[in-house]
Amino acid sequence: MHIDYLKKRFPDSVFYSDTSSENSAIERVGQRNIVIMDQFMFQFSEQFLKQCTNIELIILNTTAYDNINLSLLNKYGIQLANLADYATEDVTEVALSMMLALNNHSQKAQEIVLKDDVYEIYPGHKILKSIKRYQLSKQIVGIIGLGKIGQSIAKKCTALGLKVLGYSRSIKTLPDVEQVPLKELCTKSDIIIISLSYKRIVMDQFIDKKLLSTMKKGSILISVAHPDLIDLDYLIHHHEKFRGIGFDYVVTPKIIELLRSRDENIIITPQLGSQSKQAMDKMTKTLMQTALEFAGMKYDPMLN
């Protein structure tokens, strides 16, 4: 339906879902003016821009643009558009669901229920000693990154009765959030949620081994940001200091290594925060609207 909508307005448009190399991208884009792409499918070099000389606008189907060489786009006078906000609530919900599941040791509890030799489990039963959950309202949550997603997480954590500490690289005025230096947040928080935006090279391992080592033993670590923000090698070898670990973003080989190094209370998901029907609908409509407005046409949702 969305493809038909665009084809009516851009008769020369073509659509692919498997462009995973720069060579195939060069062949497929040709001399078209507008490119809608997934920055995780392939990374382009200057060769791409030299071959596809008519590109005026690249539209990303993500909020992040960490795989895009902005200096190259500036050199060739190409504009970049991303999705400023299409899955904030969805990412927030995934972060909170991880927090609840890890705090409750839900995976371990399910394993206990499925044991063949356990039928009646009562409060104080010896098998429950392997589960140690803590009342959320007695805990401190530290949110690293107070953009739209971080603010949304903070608001909902406050509603759940948690004390919220926050760290931001820019000044924010937020009610019910005590903004503190990053090291202080790491040492004081029982639950740490990372929602920082990522800039390649500049932000690599921003959460380094020094910061990870200062985090409380027995705390929960959750990230809904790019995994390269974190020193994963350190985390792989010291994961046992955390009572729970959760990641929702790109699943890299290092993330798989982390998953295999830990046998309980770890949740790894592949960007569930952007997979709801509502988020996908908003993403598609925003992509269409951006392309049409750039071409001087009006987007009419009633025609979709």
**Structure tokens, 174:** 């937020």
How far apart CA 103 and CA 266 sit, in angstroms, is: 11
Could you give all domains of the chain from N- to C-terminal order, each with its CATH number? 2-86+276-303 (3.40.50.720), 88-274 (3.40.50.720)
Cβ proximity of 211 and 183 under 8 Å: yes
Of 266, 192, 191, 277, the C-alpha closest to 236 is 266
pLDDT tens-digit readout, 187-230: 999 999 999 987 777 788 999 999 999 999 999 999 999 999 99
Q: What is the pLDDT of residue 57?
A: 96
Look at 169 and 241; give whichever has higher pLDDT: 241
Q: What is the pLDDT of residue 119?
A: 64
DSSP state of 241: G
Statement: residue 124 has pLDDT above 70:
no
Side chain identity, residue 149 = I
Query: Cα separations (Å) of 218 from 11, 127, 190, 243?
Result: 58, 20, 8, 5
For the whole model, what pTM was predicted? 0.85
Q: What is the pLDDT of residue 169?
A: 87
HSE-CB for 2 with a 13 A CA cutoff: 13
Cβ proximity of 161 and 141 under 8 Å: no
Cβ proximity of 36 and 59 under 8 Å: yes
DSSP 87-151: SHHHHHHHHHHHHHHHHHTHHHHHHHHH-TT-----TT-GGGGG-----GGG-EEEEE--SHHHH
Side chain identity, residue 301 = P
Buried b / exposed e along 280-300 (16+ C-beta atoms within 10 A): eebbbbbbbebbbeeeeeebe
Q: Report the alpha-carbon angle 6-8-10, nearest 5.
A: 60
pLDDT tens-digit readout, 260-302: 999 899 999 998 988 888 888 888 888 888 999 998 887 776 5
Cβ proximity of 227 and 253 under 8 Å: no
Q: What is the pLDDT of residue 97?
A: 97
